[in-house]
Chain A
């Protein structure tokens, strides 16, 4: 049983190695493009602005979850998604940026007094904004050049900001719904599990083996 699982993971890893990263950005951003076009052409219901805003927020959260899943998947299953982690994280940032832009331009229509009032008074907006603010330095330091400039240790330390950012995203969602419904609770539960896995002692050997393999590749 375990042996079959390992063969499957190895086969997947072999296939994943050949997947080029760049075209994946287009795949990852396609749902956002679809949402925008659907909203423009009257296919997103009767409050297209809200549907667009909510859809972009959900995709930001989904890609953040995918980003956070890469390391535990490697640790616990040996599946190597780490090569896609930057793409996944940047996609989460792009969706968050589009979500924020929708909020500013289409929801509040640049009504700065409303926006400032929201930022001062509404916990879910404050937390969403804090989550976004945490994503900005991560996106800005995502290039190889920035990793080199900061040094690997400092870079890793900075990128731990992803953990509070993810927690705040899930909390933002929980805070804005009208009653306890399954979806925001499910997303929050996934984020909690992914963060909690980081506290569990790692399966050091496999991870180390993975690293060596990565360096040799």
Chain B
């Protein structure tokens, strides 16, 4: 049987039923060989309209984490703090229509409809993702450089930071309702402008060749692969350029534990656990550990951004 994407939010799939990932990659090879990337949309068994992508030299050749794990094991506190809750409850989120305000210190502030900022052909970027909690995945994202969007609004010379904001819509996000709320909403994140303009930094609209499932941050999320996962803010509705370093959700929640930078760094431990190693998420009871790499393995590309900086103080 051909690969059939099972992206429906809330679908419950046993890890033992995982689609062999080779099937996904065989399909990619086949399409590249036969009719090029555009053929993807013609595949009859695609449940959702597949996205047009081109491969990227930034992609890792590590084996991607199975789709079922990427879409069933998530941190997205807007839908609950359990890892399985986003997959169960994110279906409630309306992602169409969607608009993103890009404002602050820019020459041409605007509120864009999602369709107006997503290029017709995007890139596939297979990135490592390292969660601050100690687990990791390899995810084939579909997206485009954040710098492309920022160029359209023309940042002013005074802009030094970029602030991001997630949707706040308690009606559809059950983690934003009730007595116990894990964080102050809306979720906010931030990057230095040079980090935001770095070619590795993308806005993603899909994964595994398909539009993002809601639990993964649909319809538009940030992906900054050399930083801990919580920096890669989901379901973005606002991007603002600022002069001051913007407040970020986790550093407001626990400033001693989560800093603004949150660069993956095996030498700087979280106050409550070590960051020296990571578990590749997968169905086996015997966890697959591997050493965590400086800047999550993107050291060559990004180390220069932090030259001369004390990375222990700026965690």
Q: A interface vs B, CB < 8 Å?
A: 39-43, 45-49, 52, 106-107, 109, 114, 117-118, 121-124, 175-176, 178-182, 185
Q: Which residue of A lies closest to B282 (CB)?
A: A46
- Per DSSP, chain A at the interface is helix
Q: Are B285 and A39 neighbours in the complex by a CB distance under 8 Å? A: yes
Could you count the A-B residue pairs with CB atoms below 8 Å apart for me: how many are there? 77
Q: Which residues on B sit within 8 Å (CB–CB) of A46?
A: 15, 68-69, 72-73, 83, 281-283
**Extra inter-chain contacts (16) besides given A109-B289, A114-B276, A176-B272, CB under 8 Å:** A42-B15, A45-B73, A45-B84, A46-B69, A46-B72, A46-B282, A47-B83, A48-B283, A49-B285, A49-B286, A52-B285, A107-B287, A117-B274, A118-B273, A179-B182, A180-B182
Asked if B306 is at the interface of the complex by the 8 Å CB criterion, the answer is no
Q: Which residues on A sit within 8 Å (CB–CB) of B254?
A: 178-179
Q: Which residues on A sit within 8 Å (CB–CB) of B283?
A: 42, 46, 48
Per the CB 8 Å criterion, the residue count for chain B at the interface is 34
- Bound-state Cα–Cα, A107 to B289, Å: 9
- Bound-state Cα–Cα, A140 to B253, Å: 43
Q: Which residues on B sit within 8 Å (CB–CB) of A41?
A: 16
Q: Which of B68-85 contact A (CB under 8 A)?
A: 68-69, 72-73, 77, 81, 83-84
Q: Which residue of B lies closest to A102 (CB)?
A: B285
Q: Which residues on A sit within 8 Å (CB–CB) of B72?
A: 45-46
Given A42-B283, A47-B281, A48-B285, residue A123 in contact with residue B180 (CB < 8 A): no
Asked if B183 is at the interface of the complex by the 8 Å CB criterion, the answer is yes
- Bound-state Cα–Cα, A104 to B182, Å: 30
- Bound-state Cα–Cα, A190 to B180, Å: 17
**B222 to A: closest C-beta gap in Å:** 20
- Bound-state Cα–Cα, A178 to B285, Å: 23
- Bound-state Cα–Cα, A105 to B285, Å: 11
Q: Are B73 and A47 neighbours in the complex by a CB distance under 8 Å? A: yes
Q: Are A47 and B135 neighbours in the complex by a CB distance under 8 Å? A: yes
Q: Which residues on A sit within 8 Å (CB–CB) of B28?
A: none
- Bound-state Cα–Cα, A122 to B270, Å: 10
- Bound-state Cα–Cα, A205 to B36, Å: 86
Q: Which residues on B sit within 8 Å (CB–CB) of A52?
A: 285
Q: Which residue of A lies closest to B135 (CB)?
A: A47
Asked if B14 is at the interface of the complex by the 8 Å CB criterion, the answer is yes
- Bound-state Cα–Cα, A43 to B14, Å: 6
Q: Are B16 and A47 neighbours in the complex by a CB distance under 8 Å? A: no
- Bound-state Cα–Cα, A47 to B137, Å: 12
Given A46-B15, A46-B281, A180-B180, residue A123 in contact with residue B272 (CB < 8 A): yes
Given A46-B15, A106-B287, residue A124 in contact with residue B272 (CB < 8 A): yes
